[in-house]
Amino acid sequence: MIATIKHHLKEYTIDLSNPLDISIPINISKQNINAWYLEEPEISPVSTDDWVGSVAAGSAVNFNNIAFNPHAHITHTECVGHITKDVHSINKNLQQFFFLAEVVTIAPEKKSNGDQVITLQQLQKVLKNKTCEAIVIRTLPNSEEKRSARYSNTNPPYMLEEAAVYLQEIGIKHLLIDLPSVDKEKDEGKLLAHNAFWNTKGIIRFNATITEFIYVPNSIKDGTYFLNLMIAPFENDASPSKPILYKLA
């Protein structure tokens, strides 16, 4: 299924039958990805005194309850409502879902205090003045273990404030990263990168989003793609999401 897209006076061709999924699902059949000191997600059949929602248990249907936190257990997309006192919904603020995106690979720099960080200079180097609406950041090392990593109390890599300011200033509206957060795990609630990217001290960018817990396989090369950023319709600051990349023909 070939589609031709006209975007900013340029024409692009993509194959819709060849999606590249960069999401991590909830999968309780094995160790699930986890962060922020929470228990495991749960998927279990509804059970009453005389009925269990499981075909294996004799029911006509499978009828499960699911308990999870989008920030801790699954690829998710969040809006500025994640860090504001006022309630803002990702479902209301994300109204377009198809964007020109740049996939980049960065090895976070090690600081003297042991932190690993994504810097302004690294982003400037990999973007090379390219114009795009979304950036998809793959960090190194990059292994399948990211699909089931346990991040609590590990001080994962994060993005420096000046790097997030840069992305905001060059017009990146959608930031996707394979880490539990763009900010330091324990930062006294400062959330410097989140605040900088959404410009909370100025004109807030309500239509900008941050997607965390993606996984970009090594088979996906750095470069320009179209991104379909699909979310579930939750009236919440964040929603589980399924970002899909399409190669340019």
Supply the pTM of this predicted model: 0.97
Q: According to the model, what pLDDT value does residue 129 have? A: 85
For residue range 64-78, list pLDDT tens digits in order.
999 999 999 999 999
Look at 8 and 60; give whichever has higher pLDDT: 60
Categorize the per-residue pLDDT at 112 as very low, low, confident or very high, splitting at 50, 70 and 90.
very high
Model confidence at 8: pLDDT above 90: no
Spatial neighbors of 145 by CB under 8 A, at least 6 apart, are: none
For residue range 30-46, list pLDDT tens digits in order.
999 999 999 999 999 99
Identify the three-state secondary structure at position 59. Answer: coil
pLDDT cut 70: percent of the chain above it: 100
Q: How far apart are CA 69 and CA 192, in angstroms?
A: 22
Model confidence at 212: pLDDT above 90: yes
Identify the three-state secondary structure at position 45. Answer: strand
Q: According to the model, what pLDDT value does residue 86 have? A: 96
3-state helix, strand, coil in the chain (%, to 5): 15, 30, 50
Hey, how many other C-beta atoms are within 10 angstroms of the C-beta on 222?
14
Categorize the per-residue pLDDT at 116 as very low, low, confident or very high, splitting at 50, 70 and 90.
very high
Q: How far apart are CA 26 and CA 139, in angstroms?
A: 21
Q: According to the model, what pLDDT value does residue 107 have? A: 98
For residue range 67-110, list pLDDT tens digits in order.
999 999 999 999 999 999 999 999 999 999 999 999 999 999 99
Q: How far apart are CA 209 and CA 214, in angstroms?
A: 14
For residue range 117-162, list pLDDT tens digits in order.
999 999 999 999 888 999 999 999 999 999 999 999 999 999 999 9
Categorize the per-residue pLDDT at 249 as very low, low, confident or very high, splitting at 50, 70 and 90.
confident
Any idea of the CA torsion for 50, 51, 57, 60, to the nearest 10 degrees? 130
Q: According to the model, what pLDDT value does residue 31 have? A: 97
Q: How far apart are CA 145 and CA 1, in angstroms?
A: 33
